[in-house]
Amino acid sequence: MLNLSEKKNGGEENMKIKNFIFICLLIGLVVGLRVLPVQAATPAQISTAIDKGLKWLAGEQAVDGHIPGLWGDGTADATTGLVVLKFLDRAKELKKDPFQTDNTKTDYYEYATVVTKGFEYIFNNLDILSSNRVTSNDWYPVYSTGIVMMAVATAPDPNKVITNGALNGWTYKQAAQGMMDWFASVQETNGAWLYSGAGNDNSSSGYATLGVGFASSLNGFGLTIPGSIYSNLDSFIDTIRETSGTHKGASVYRFTWRAWPNIYKTGNLLYEMALVGDTLSTQRVKDAIAYIEAKWDSSAAGTHADGGGWKDYQAMFGMMKGLEAFKIEELKIGAGGALEPWFEEVSTYIVNNQVDVGSDKGYWNNEYGTHLGTAWALITLERAVEKVEFGIPGQCRKSGDIFASFDADDSVVFGLAPFTWTWAGNTDLTVTKDANNVFVITYPSGWTGSESIIFTVTDSNGKVSDDEATFTVHPVI
C-alpha cells in the first residue's frame, strides 16, 4: 500500500510534469500563432488550385492555338499571350523546357504543346514589318502587344527562331526588339500609350510598361529601353497620380478624366515607378503603397470604381506586379496597422473562389470572362517572386534531456532544392549542421533557459527567407 508521504511526493512530481508540459505548450502556441495564420490557404491547396486551373486552360485552346478573347478574335491575341505567359512561368518554376514535347526527356513539360501552339498563333498575327503591332483590331493594339511582349520575353532562349508568320526566320529577341521599337515610336510625349488613339490611359499604359519591363534587363532578354521611354514615363507618373485628398498616391484612369483611382491602376503605377528607377524611399512610391494599404478592405468593384480594391483578378494581377517590382512581401493590413504578408490573404481568396469543373479542373471568372480571369488568377497565385518559405518548430526539454535533431530541408514548403542554411542568435546553445542539412542543438551541462535562433535559407533560385525557432530547457524542480 502506498503511504501518505509517497502519495504526496507522487502528486508533486505529477504537478511538475503538468507545469512543464503547460509551459512548453504555451511556448509552442505562441510560436505557432506567428507562423501559421488562421484559415490561410495551405501550400497543398494552392498547388491543387494551380493544377486544376492549368488543366482547364489547356483544354480551352483551339486547334489553331488561340484562347478565345472576350470580344472575339480581336482580343484573342491578348488572351492567348496571357495564357502562354502563365504556362511559361510554370515551366520555369519546374525547371522544364516549355517547348519539350518528348516525354522521355528529363526536361519534358506536359504543357509544351499548349505553349508551342500558342506561340504559333501569336506569330501568325504578329507583323512588325508592316503594322508594328499584334492585333488586327485597331481598338486594342497596346494591350495586345504589351501582353504578347511579356510572353515572348519570358521564353527561355532569346535566340530561338520563329518558324511561321511574317517574322519567319527572326529570333524571339528580334521580335521583342521590334515591339520595343514600336512602343518607343507610339508613346506620347506626355508618357502615355493611348487607348485606341485617344485618352492618356493608365490601363493600356500599364500593359505597355509591363511588356517593356519584361524585355529589358530587369527580367528578360536584356534589351535596352530607349531613353525617351524613361523620360516620358517619369513625367506620366507625376501627371497620372493623385497628390492630395482621399485618393492621394493612387493612379487615376486618364489625365483629363480623373476617374477610377483604385488598387489596380496603382499597382500599374508602382511597376512604372520601379521601371524608371524609383526606390522604396521615393515619396511617390511611399504614397502609392500607403494608398493600397488604406484601400485594402475596400468593397468597391475592382478596376472600374473609385477606391476599388484588389478582389478582382485583373486588379490583383496589377497590384501583384507592382508589389513584386519592389519586392514587397508585407503590407500594413493587420489589426492596428500591423505588417502582414499580403499574399496569404490574396492566395486564400483565389483558392476559395475557384469554380470547379469536375474533380480535376477549375476556372475563375470576372467581368472579362473566364479565360482572362483564370490567367490573371493563376499568374498571381504562382507569382514570380514567391520567396522560399519554411517553418522549423521550436523544442522544449527538461534539463538533462536532449533536443531532437532535425532535417531543415524537410521544413521547406516553398522553394527549389538544393538549400543553403545559416543561423544566428544563439549564445549558450551550440548549433551544428552536417552536409545533409541535419541540425543538432546542444546546451551546456546544468544550463536552463530559452534562446531563439534565426534560421536563414537560400534556395537554388537565390530566394532567401528566415524564420525563428525557440529552444527551451526547463529546470527539474
Q: Write a three-state SS string for 251-316.
A: ECCECCCCCCCCHHHHHHHHHHHHHCCCCCCCHHHHHHHHHHHHCCCCCCCCCCCCCCCCCCHHHH
> What is residue 369's three-state secondary structure?
strand
pLDDT one-digit tens code per residue, 303-322: 888 899 999 999 999 999 99
- Residue 455's beta-bridge partner residues? 423, 467
The secondary structure of residue 336, as a DSSP letter, is G
Q: What are phi and psi of 448, to 5 degrees?
A: -135, 155
Q: 357-368 burial, b for 16+ CB within 10 Å, e for fewer?
A: eeeebbbbbbeb
Please identify which residue in the block is written with the cell numbers 492621394: 248
Encode 374-395: b = buried (16+ Cβ within 10 Å), e = exposed: bbbbbbbbbbebbbbbbbbebb
Q: What is the torsional sign of CA 23, 25, 26, 30?
A: positive
CA 29, CA 51: separation in Å to the nearest integer? 33
Query: Is cis: bond before 68, omega within 30 of 0?
Result: no
* Conformational region of residue 132, where left means phi above 0, alpha means psi within -120 to 50, and beta covers everything else: left
Task: Give the confidence band of 135 by pLDDT, cuts at 50, 70, 90.
Answer: low
C-beta of residue 465 within 8 angstroms of C-beta of residue 389 = yes
Least confident of 191-200, 202-211, 442-451, 456-465: 191-200
**Strand ranges for 361-463 from DSSP E:** 361-363, 389-390, 395-398, 406-407, 412-414, 420-424, 430-433, 438-442, 449-458
DSSP label at residue 303 = S
CA 34 from chain centre, in angstroms, equals 22
Q: What is the Cβ-side half-sphere exposure of residue 182, based on CA atoms within 13 angstroms?
A: 23
C-alpha cell at 65: 492555338
DSSP assignment of 141-194 equals: HHHHHHHHHHHHHHSS-TTPBP-SSTTTT-BHHHHHHHHHHHHHHH--TTS---
Sorting pLDDT into bands at 50, 70 and 90, what band is 171? very high
CA gyration radius, the chain:
27
Torsion angles phi and psi, residue 151, rounded to 5: -65, -45
**243 near 225, Cβ under 8 Å?**
no
Coil, strand, or helix at residue 468?
strand
The answer on pLDDT for 4 being more than 50 is: no
- For the stretch 100-124, pLDDT in tens is 999 999 999 999 999 999 999 999 9
**pLDDT score of 34:** 37
Tell me the average pLDDT across 418-430.
Answer: 95
Encode pLDDT of 332-378 as tens digits: 998 889 999 999 999 999 999 999 998 899 999 988 889 999 999 99
- The total of other beta-carbon atoms located within 10 Å of residue 325's CB is 22
Report the pLDDT value the prediction gives residue 258, as an integer from 0 to 100: 87
Q: Report the pLDDT averaged over residues 176-180.
A: 93
- Quote the CA–CA distance of 415 and 344 in Å, as a whole number: 16
Phi, psi of 414 (to 5 degrees): -130, 140
Q: What is the pLDDT of residues 237-267, one digit of tens each?
A: 999 999 999 999 999 998 888 889 999 999 9
What grid cell was written down for 70?
A: 472576350
Q: How far apart are CA 158 and CA 171, in angstroms?
A: 7
Q: Residues for the chain: how many in total?
A: 477
Core vs surface per residue 260-270: b (16+ CB within 10 A) or e = bbbbbbbbbbb
Torsions phi, psi of 430, nearest 5? -105, 130
φ, ψ of residue 124 in degrees (nearest 5): -70, -20
CA distance 324 to 386: 9
Average pLDDT over residues 185-198: 81
Question: 102-140 b/e with 16+ CB inside 10 Å = b?
Answer: eeeeeeebbbbebbebbbbbbbbbbbbeebbbbbebeeb
